Structure 1
């Protein structure tokens, strides 16, 4: 699956603009398109009214059952491949050698399946694409309807294999692979629809194909004003008031390359049938669509001008010579308007033909001359980050300033939970091969889940530490067997090296588990397609998992009130995000490293990996980070390790301070149109489809005492530090990991305070989140510079005392006396506060001689060195999470 070179692609085509534009992006990225594949409505079609979502069950009975035997016995129709393999696509192109004509009566011509998954309007013309492009075309009728309405698709278990329309792709693609076994990738035109993308990914990965979705999130990837000033000026000129992005730029890109797509269906109250057969990519049509949509409340939201919410559908009739050797021609008399009611109308096209272009068989256009606009690797924010890392690094680290333990102005709070965002399960492999160790750990995890009656979906994040990164493929398959549902946990993987783990242990796994989380409260982002957006996650981990910041059972009141709180869309969310390495998203390879200077592209790797973290965070609507760590592979010297730490600190600082209050063009994103219509989690949008407020990252308004006029350089940023390990996945130069993101938090609900011990060897960085009217979540990062003669157990107890004592002063408005801090009862209560994760330099503390030390002391990551944002060495960094609630008076 990890093919780094050119791919052999089968392109899914519906006739719409997106699928053909995706093909052009495949070509410009150096891939070879081998064949086209299409799913079309069955011959015995039913009316559109029958195929509405409300009558999906009836459709399966009327269509699916009647057609099952017919389709099972029928072979896939192939255009461009004859039985004797001597007929070229130009010779065999459908029902007629020059036209595509259907004489099946009104029943077929006037049927649109209104599929959630597939475009079926214009299916009569699709056979002509074989001749028009010179590519073999494979077709298969659609079997069934939408059965699984979840935004993320669950692979069928066999029982329902033929019921969901998604599974119609299986026989279609198997036919392609039988004829073209060299095919190893599939491309689709999904732009904003998670619904469509996850289903194509599911089928592709089951068949061993690499999914390509170059248009995924494409409209929000900004133009570079320096490299293309003319295009940027046009884009700015055509943006509506208050719009931060211009979806129509994608249409302009299509028009520039000669892709001609005609509107063949309208399904919005703002778009009437007068739009039918208009060229969607023309400036005049784009302007008319905007005006029409605005008449009915706003512009329909992000993606509406592209038809992403089902506002319209298109049919491509021509394209650049590199792809289209002929043009599809439809006479005025061969278009029939079909009105479905409710403002929906579409064109039935019973006859069309292909007019070949002059020199159609010649190589009239080079791929490099297509003019396909590929987004810049870095957007404007992270281009600034990259510039800040070049040359001498001048630190202006804007971390939290030291403060006294004063009251925060909250009502008195008391500690009620030291693991509010989940339980920590630690597993250490001992003895035998790494494969046997991993198998035992997986078995232990399964038994633990069964013991507590938990599903693997209760796991939201994991940290895997290996002795050797070369073992990663071996453990990956075993670890992945735990997760059968969509959206596996977010994950971080590092190698600690030969001397960092106990001699008999080759792997440790730390899991964060949410025992009280309901399945509907969990949301994941698992993009497995290659795109320009961020690296694909083809493996047993998601880019991110979001869940309630405070567990349901910790709310106040009875069961009814708890259920209401859980369902409340205003509840704050925690977001666990996978570690991000600097892969180029479109190719899934690292930026090239000059052989004579391995460090020369480290600034680029830092900026790119951090951009990935930002894009994942924004897609999950993260407004603020709790803290972050940058992992670096083994350095040649302490000075090199320190330099890398300063690079990370500068990148983190710049990524925050280059933003301004309010929405950002680089990060202002929201849920896709399918979500807005069908997913209750996103049904908080107004009638225009626009969210009341789409926060940026960072969203400065979430900070307490936010002052828009304050100089941004004075604003605090979340704490960041760096660690040196042995090796990172893919031999990356850096891996960024945000410990937690906060989403759906209210303005002014986050406070940040830093407190130092009297000896200044221990510093606490508190991030305090008012998660509800009565509950407060606190993440505390504790850093420690070792005092000689101190044991790790002594440090751990001191950390617990410090966290409890500091937060008691801040949140309970109580100053503890020295005698109280040494009281035995208080000590017991304090050391019950356990760290979620601890980074430690084993050379400072003897942990390796005791084979049970790692599991006994919680989630420990052994590091070669640790560095704060000022380039100072540290011995221990621990992450604590606590939950506080109003004290009863």
Structure 2
């Protein structure tokens, strides 16, 4: 991509440009924001470094690139972490600056910034990029600062300190010093006082005088003065004000460099961006018609599993005859489904901001781009002020069982207390989420993570090496996301949903299973607690980007007041809480003997229960007289078995149906049963169960979602007829 680099003069913005080149991008322009008054060194800004701005103008000749500059007329008016368009805010100056760059250089597709740890700055750059249709590149984001500092020095960045404001840094002793001279002192200060060695806490600021990008000349600082802002005896604050400097020609350079840098600057390489700011938001340009009423789509089915008090799921699909070609296509089906969900949310007094997670199932991954276009017309940053929901997307055999081309399941919370991590910048940290879906959503003590592929974060390409290599990198990416919540997939995972592509051979699927198992067996946290998450494998016809594997972890992230020393301890069977769940006595007599052979259960701190129940051909043959053709009677028998096992899990572990937040039944399309037939069988069973236990139904609505798959199971063989996936949580 062609990139415009935000430059402050500091080491970070220069090294960010070097990283862009490392990953094959081309920096074609520089953009810099400076104070209104040249005599002012530093602004009271949360966003911009301006100390040394007098010298940044030299970068155009040093690099042989055009430099766009704008004077900052705004101030900090929007103090929230998440930024929304605010007239008069200093962020709007960045928007105006980059707008002009894009106007003059239409080929620019991305913006480089030197963000390392500041969410405040990253989110504002991402906001501006989103409005302008640009990609944010932040290759230093979340990287180890000690390693970054060492790499900057090793790769030839010559930068001096122009501001100090931390314990252990003195203006008289440390201003004007090069990084290489200060490295050992900074590392010592980090050990002694915990300062950020790259200055991310505002401890110091730098000015780059030379680096490999300066192909034409280096900057020589001839004279400066130290201005003391605060003479505090513990952490005095001082800045360096440049008085005289010049450019020094580099051997081999084709440019003619004079001695008086600013005076002789070529006007064609310096662009002053002036004028007012047009507050145009990309989302405002999207025209959205009022959501159709439910009557507008008579063939749309909606399933609400509202057993929980605060969290429930909605599943929605377009009802079609099995294998029918009557559907109008993916776009029409997805518009109908999302419109129906939107109306259902309104009926509940809710909006998209209440949605925690979205499962997007489509009939063909070839239409993934089209599905995204429809999706973003419904779910936007503007509609979700607390953050957009996390999401996973896979292809499923929907048409085959009469579910149209799109099936959407959303997890919804009645209250607005979620915490969302949405990093849109491309970095080395974890795959970016460019668009309205986030890496993870934390609600209560459960972290719902987006589907993770084996993507190389800085390039956003699938790693080579096949399924096991992809799984390994997907786990690394998941761990990076978990770390952002001070958690780990190896000590906090409740459940793993592993999607495998139908392209995989039997041996490749087995290798995936062994790789995942070994990653836990060899992990110290899991070995110490003896606590392993439940794992469910689902076979899908295709995955995004043609991936072999996609994983979706669910984690337990305890609150600060959780005094449970071992958060992942297992409950004793039988539970310590009175159980209200009940099952008909005849079910117990018929199915009790099969319980242990088909269930995986994981409970956490007495508050969360994850379970997977498998119905293999062997188990089905013990329940039904035959399994090659599943009659209505056979389906009902299997449904009763599933309901019994789930009820028993809840009873044994001190939970009840009111605690269930998610219940999903995956059924293999290898057995030719239409979705409505399968759903009807389970509905009848839950109606019968409801007569014994009123908590398993609310207002007569079934409490489950049926999902057709190519295969599923607790092992990578994925040969189950039906697999049940349950998550229960106590507030």
Residues in 1 aligned to 2:550 and 2:14: alpha-carbon distance in whole angstroms: 35
CA contact (8 A) 1:425 1:512 kept: yes
- For residue 47 of structure 2, what is the aligned residue in structure 1? 117
CA contact (8 A) 2:226 2:238 kept: no
Residues in 1 aligned to 2:676 and 2:413: alpha-carbon distance in whole angstroms: 32
For residue 529 of structure 1, give the secondary structure of its aligned residue in structure 2: coil
Q: Which of 403, 408, 417 in structure 2 is aligned with 1:509? A: 408
- For residue 727 of structure 2, what is the aligned residue in structure 1? 881
Question: Which TM-score applies when normalising by structure 2?
Answer: 0.78
Does 2:16 align with 1:12?
no
Q: Which of 427, 443, 450 in structure 2 is aligned with 1:547? A: 443
Q: 1:255 deviation in Å?
A: 1.1
- For residue 266 of structure 1, what is the aligned residue in structure 2? 164
Residues in 1 aligned to 2:474 and 2:191: alpha-carbon distance in whole angstroms: 38
Q: 1:742 to 1:652 in 2, by over 3 A?
A: farther
Residues in 1 aligned to 2:439 and 2:729: alpha-carbon distance in whole angstroms: 26
- For residue 819 of structure 1, what is the aligned residue in structure 2? none
Residues in 1 aligned to 2:456 and 2:353: alpha-carbon distance in whole angstroms: 29
Does 2:600 align with 1:765?
yes
Deviations 1:404-462 (A, max 9, x none): xxxxxxxxxxxxx9537720111113443321222222222222222222232211111
Q: Which of 565, 579, 583 in structure 2 is aligned with 1:747? A: 565
Q: 1:311 deviation in Å?
A: 0.9
CA contact (8 A) 1:35 1:136 kept: yes
Q: 1:121 deviation in Å?
A: 1.1
Deviations 1:535-578 (A, max 9, x none): 11112210001121xxxxxxxxxxxxxxxxxxxxxxxx210100
Q: 1:31 deviation in Å?
A: 1.4
CA contact (8 A) 2:663 2:724 kept: yes
CA contact (8 A) 2:21 2:27 kept: yes
For residue 452 of structure 2, give the secondary structure of its aligned residue in structure 1: coil
Q: 1:725 to 1:754 in 2, by over 3 A?
A: farther
Residues in 2 aligned to 1:496 and 1:546: alpha-carbon distance in whole angstroms: 27
Q: 1:793 deviation in Å?
A: 4.2
- For residue 396 of structure 2, what is the aligned residue in structure 1? 496
Q: Which of 194, 197, 207 in structure 2 is aligned with 1:315? A: 207
- For residue 507 of structure 2, what is the aligned residue in structure 1? 643
Q: 1:317 deviation in Å?
A: 0.7
CA contact (8 A) 1:547 1:575 kept: yes
Bigger strand fraction: 2
Give the gaps of 5 or more residues in structure 1.
1-6, 44-103, 220-246, 363-416, 549-572, 593-599, 662-697, 704-714, 813-828
CA contact (8 A) 2:423 2:433 kept: yes
CA contact (8 A) 1:262 1:276 kept: no
Residues in 2 aligned to 1:141 and 1:653: alpha-carbon distance in whole angstroms: 56
Does 2:287 align with 1:357?
no
- For residue 516 of structure 2, what is the aligned residue in structure 1? 652
Q: Which of 627, 634, 639 in structure 1 is aligned with 2:495? A: 627
Q: Which of 82, 93, 110 in structure 2 is aligned with 1:185? A: 110
Residues in 1 aligned to 2:129 and 2:252: alpha-carbon distance in whole angstroms: 36
Deviations 1:298-348 (A, max 9, x none): 313xxx11111111111111112x43421111123x333242455321112
Does 2:552 align with 1:732?
no
Q: 1:880 to 1:602 in 2, by over 3 A?
A: closer
Deviations 1:144-165 (A, max 9, x none): 22222332323x2xxx3x3221
- For residue 782 of structure 1, what is the aligned residue in structure 2? 613
- For residue 399 of structure 1, what is the aligned residue in structure 2? none
Residues in 1 aligned to 2:78 and 2:657: alpha-carbon distance in whole angstroms: 48
Residues in 2 aligned to 1:645 and 1:717: alpha-carbon distance in whole angstroms: 20
Alignment of 1:336-485 (within 5 A): 336-340=226-230, 343-361=236-254, 419=308, 422-430=311-319, 431-480=327-376, 481-483=378-380, 484=382, 485=384
Deviations 1:83-142 (A, max 9, x none): xxxxxxxxxxxxxxxxxxxxx6xxx33x52131111111111111111121111100112
Deviations 1:592-641 (A, max 9, x none): 5xxxxxxx5222112112221222122222341111122122237xxx2x
For residue 125 of structure 1, give the secondary structure of its aligned residue in structure 2: helix
- For residue 184 of structure 2, what is the aligned residue in structure 1? 287
Of stretches 350-359 and 741-750 in structure 1, the one that deviates more from structure 2 is 741-750
- For residue 128 of structure 1, what is the aligned residue in structure 2? 58
CA contact (8 A) 2:175 2:239 kept: no
Residues in 2 aligned to 1:436 and 1:360: alpha-carbon distance in whole angstroms: 59
For residue 195 of structure 1, give the secondary structure of its aligned residue in structure 2: helix
Q: 1:721 to 1:166 in 2, by over 3 A?
A: same
* Larger RCO (alpha carbons 8 Å, 6+ apart): 1
Question: Which TM-score applies when normalising by structure 1?
Answer: 0.65
Q: 1:9 deviation in Å?
A: 0.8
Residues in 2 aligned to 1:736 and 1:179: alpha-carbon distance in whole angstroms: 42
Deviations 1:665-713 (A, max 9, x none): xxxxxxxxxxxxxxxxxxxxxxxxxxxxxxxxx6x77x4xxxxxxxxxx
Of stretches 858-867 and 207-216 in structure 1, the one that deviates more from structure 2 is 858-867
Q: How many residues align?
A: 613
- For residue 403 of structure 1, what is the aligned residue in structure 2? none
Residues in 2 aligned to 1:341 and 1:454: alpha-carbon distance in whole angstroms: 54
Residues in 1 aligned to 2:163 and 2:670: alpha-carbon distance in whole angstroms: 68
Residues in 2 aligned to 1:125 and 1:836: alpha-carbon distance in whole angstroms: 62
Q: 1:585 to 1:118 in 2, by over 3 A?
A: same
Q: 1:835 deviation in Å?
A: 4.9
Residues in 2 aligned to 1:176 and 1:131: alpha-carbon distance in whole angstroms: 18
Does 2:467 align with 1:602?
yes
- For residue 534 of structure 2, what is the aligned residue in structure 1? 719
Does 2:173 align with 1:173?
no
Residues in 1 aligned to 2:703 and 2:351: alpha-carbon distance in whole angstroms: 26
Q: Which of 30, 36, 56 in structure 2 is aligned with 1:36? A: 30
Does 2:194 align with 1:299?
yes
Does 2:68 align with 1:138?
yes
Q: 1:119 to 1:336 in 2, by over 3 A?
A: same
